[in-house]
Structure 1
Amino acid sequence: MQLQALMMLSAENTQELVTLVPWTFIATIINLFIQMFLIKKFLFKPINEILEKRKNLADKTIREAREAKEEADSLKDQYEDSLTSAHAEAAKIVSDAQKEAQNKADALVKEAQEEAAGIKARAAADIEQERKKAVNEAKDEIGSLAMDIAGKVVEKEINEADHKKLIDEFINQVGA
């Protein structure tokens, strides 16, 4: 019996746990809303503020990275432009130097040709003068030899052997 009484008491206690008491239910709901309000106010709000700060920091970092990339692209474009202009200027300088060197070389060749032509002309004039001088000297010598021969011919009567001898002497003197 005691066992039966214990079971009944136990069944009544169990039934009380399963039954719904309206005031307890309302108190539980109010308790739940108070807990939600406190959690929202003291937990979610600071967490949301931290998350917002982190989001703003991430946005700022991304914005700064984009700006740095744009600046780097701009600097790269400027570098490429200056490099292109430097290549063009270097090519122009080389071209100008080649033209100037060619002009100087042409001037030097022309000057050398003119100098060579002058030397050649002077040499030709000197040769012509020496030739005329040699011809004049030969004429003078031939004239003096002719005078000598004529003087010898006048002094004596020449036979054929003497005549040959005089001609041979004349040829030997002219050859010398």
Structure 2
Amino acid sequence: MQLQALMMLTADTAKTQELVTLVPWTFIAQIINLFIQMFLIKKFLFKPINDILEKRKNLADKAIREAREAQEEADSLKSQYEESLTNAHAEAAKIVSEAQKEAQNKADTLVKEAEQQAAGIKARAAEDIEQEKKKAINEAKDEIGGLAMDIAGKVVEKEINEADHKKLIEDFISKVGA
């Protein structure tokens, strides 16, 4: 039994050694097979994959470049918008300022015209008053002249004593006062 077990062990060891031993032709064939497989994988698998990866990389670079250009354009448009907005605010302030100045000028012109009209009305009123005054003085002079003529006529008609003379003067003064 032991012998039989020993023989089996030896037979198993020989089979195992056959698997572990290197056969030079098999080894060379396996290495050539490995190089052929690597060449075929590189030619038919890696090259198309690398081409696809390169195309995807180029597409991604193009998308990034377009996004940067769009960002730059958006920044440019934003700065133009802000500049336009600033200019619009300045223009609006200028328009309001000009409108205020124009309104002030119109108000000043209207005040000057009103003052001139008022001065004209005052001058005409003063002239009217002066004319009325002259007219009143002329009428008073005419009346005084008429009274003086009346008195002179009365004096001539009669001889006046001093009491009559005083009475005539008082009558004259009372008529002039009226």
Task: Give the TM interval when normalised to the shorter protein.
Answer: 0.7 to 0.9
Match of 1:127 in 2: 129
Aligned to 2:69: 67
Matches within 5 A, 1:70-149: 70-149=72-151
Per the TM alignment, residue 66 of structure 1 is displaced from its structure 2 partner at its CA by 1.6
What RMSD in Å do the two structures reach over aligned CA positions?
2.3
Q: Distance in 1 between the 2:111 and 2:61 partners?
A: 74
Name the amino acid aligned to 2:133: R
Aligned AA for 2:72?
E
What's the TM-score, normalizing by structure 1? 0.84
CA distance in 1, matches of 2:104, 2:172: 63
Measure how far apart 1:163 and its partner are. Answer: 4.5
Q: Which runs of 5+ in 1 are unaligned?
A: none
Q: Where does structure 2 lack aligned partners over 5 or more consecutive residues?
A: none
Q: Deviations over 1:99-136 (max 9, x none)?
A: 33233223222222222222221111111111111111
Partners of 1:109 and 1:151 in 2: how far apart?
61
Q: AA paired with 1:64?
A: E
Question: Alpha-carbon deviation of 1:165?
Answer: 4.3
One-letter identity of the residue aligned with 2:45: L
Residues 17-56 of structure 1 aligned to structure 2 (within 5 Å): 17-56=19-58
**2:10 matches 1:8:** yes
TM-score (norm 2): 0.83
Q: Which amino acid aligns with 1:138?
A: A
Match of 2:171 among 144, 148, 169: 169
Q: Aligned residues: percent identity?
A: 82
